[in-house]
A and B are shown apart, each in its own frame.
Chain A
Amino acid sequence: MAIPERIHRNIDTRYWNPGAEYFPVKNRYTAGVAGQRFFEELKENGKLFGTKCSKCSVTFVPARLFCERCFARLEEWVDVGLEGVLYSFTHVYRTKSDEEKENPSIVGAVRIADGLLMHHLGECNEKDLYIGMPVKAELKPVGEREGKITDIAYFKPL
């Protein structure tokens, strides 16, 4: 049966468990020409790289293949270190299926060079966080790194 009735109040729909009708196709992605090298550096050498556009004076982090402003092909790779500045943050209290999270998590936007990385914050007391706080990436140990953004376990106060 198709759905037989209308629901007039948003709250009554709640969350649908997809069950057996779940859409069966997924996507797999490549990190791309620049992304592949960025993640290899992170995995193998524990380094974060950006690419610099000299003309626009911008260093993109994570590294990109091209400058979106002037369309230059970016060939200058810069080791930008693991430290950054907390540009903004949020505390997350509910899951995406609208259940209360047992452990509210903290998500930060971390400025590194001219890039902004969204990532978890750890080893910190939420009351002590402030915008502009120096933070540093805590990497997973070499053997556990897979060449993913989660090779950074979290950022922590410096």
Chain B
Amino acid sequence: MRKVAIVGAGLTKFVRRALETPKELSFEATSTALDSCGLKLEDIDCVAHGSAPDAFDGIHQKGEYLADGCGGWNKPTMRVFVGGATGVHAIIHGWHHVASGMFDTCLVVCEEKMSSAMPHAQGFFLTIFDAITERALHPNLLWIFALEMNRYMSRYGYTKEDMALAAVNNKRNGQLHPSSQFKDEVTVEDVLNSEIMAYPVSRLDVSPVSDGAAAVVLAAEPVARRLTDKPVWIEGVGWTLDTAYWGTRDLYYPRYLDKAARMAYEMAGIREPAKQINIAEPYDPFDYKALHHMEGLQLSPRGKTVELLRDGHFARDGNLPMCPSGGLLGVGNPIAAAGTMKVAELFWQLRGEAGERQVPGNPRLGVAQAWGDLMQVSSVVVAGI
């Protein structure tokens, strides 16, 4: 396998309702990524595209629809789709294209436009539940996250305030991100006082509905070294499926992530991730999920995560900054694009180009993760400089 580097990245602003069509959003992110490394579309050998359920954009086979906005015209183009994990999985998908020796350059582009759903994107999740045993209860997605959050909190004696601290950490980081859809500071009290949607999930425990796109450019080692003196290497990749019967999983521990993380660390030669990783972008559609995933990523001992959070361990200037981008809670959650945004954050942070939100101390190794499908798949990318 060949070494693969990230050499460019681009994001649109994440917004609640974009005027741009899904194609136009993809074009904006893609052309920004190309400009960032001085490449033209003709320099790109293939496109690895990711987008979550077709229903969000309201276009069936949206991979084909989006392809030209992702630079896929007349090129080998392939879509990957693993729900919420798509944004990181698409990077792995693109990595395969280049590591295999098939292609020297690959555009990875992820897009989601959730504002088109009427009355609300939540309605589309109805049909992910078992048609015979669950759908008759008229569930929505918040139910299972509320059940999981409650189980996680009770297992370790965490409070809602503990969980809110994670939301505040990420949202504070996100305020410095130019793509963020939020401007106002959020306090623990704000989170606790926001309306309960499905106990223990309150509105500000959850990331927002967003439109946006993200793109990165991957290149094989010789090309990457020609293009930049700061290539960010993809050191490890991992992905795993847990059972699709969400009700038979350990709700308090993300086993779907445990194995994926170990796979990526092994490939990267990392033996002690909690000591060796400098920045972490765990998938954080909910505040408790950021903490839950820090444990699954082997970056925090089970049940000790809130203690570390309270001690400032996961702050921007802490030992292991958590979601320095702001994450889904702080920047926004255009599903597939949000995962790719996390990998783009590793790219900027490791190159020392994250501006106001730069993590101090010249971080050299980072991990990004996303989670999705029937809440049972996890994708992990380890990147280093």
Residues on A lying within 8 angstroms of B by beta carbon are: 2, 23-36, 65-66, 68-71, 73
Contact = CB atoms under 8 A, between A and B. Distances in A.
18 contacts: A23-B127, A24-B126, A25-B117, A25-B123, A25-B124, A25-B126, A26-B117, A28-B58, A29-B116, A30-B21, A31-B21, A33-B21, A65-B20, A66-B27, A68-B69, A69-B74, A71-B34, A71-B40
B247 interface: no
B242 interface: no
B27 A25 contact: no
B32 to A, nearest CB: 11
A34 B74 contact: no
A36 B19 contact: yes
A70 B117 contact: no
A153 to B, nearest CB: 25
B123 to A, nearest CB: 3
A27 B117 contact: yes
Nearest to B132: A2
A2 B42 CA distance: 53
Given A27-B116, A27-B118, A32-B23, A68 B127 contact: no
A23 B118 CA distance: 12
Contacts, number: 71
A69 B75 CA distance: 10
A26 B21 CA distance: 17
B258 interface: no
Contacts of A35: 21
Interface residues of B, number: 33
A23 to B, nearest CB: 7
Nearest to A66: B27
B71 interface: yes
A73 B31 contact: yes
B30 interface: yes
Contacts of B58: 26-29
Contact of B119 (A25, A66, A70, A73): A25
Nearest to B34: A71
A33 B18 CA distance: 10
Contacts of B131: 2
Contacts of B31: 66, 71, 73
Interface in B127-147: 127, 131-132
B243 to A, nearest CB: 23
B71 A71 contact: yes
B68 interface: yes
B24 interface: yes
B280 to A, nearest CB: 34
B41 interface: yes
Given A2-B132, A73-B31, A25 B23 contact: no
B73 interface: yes
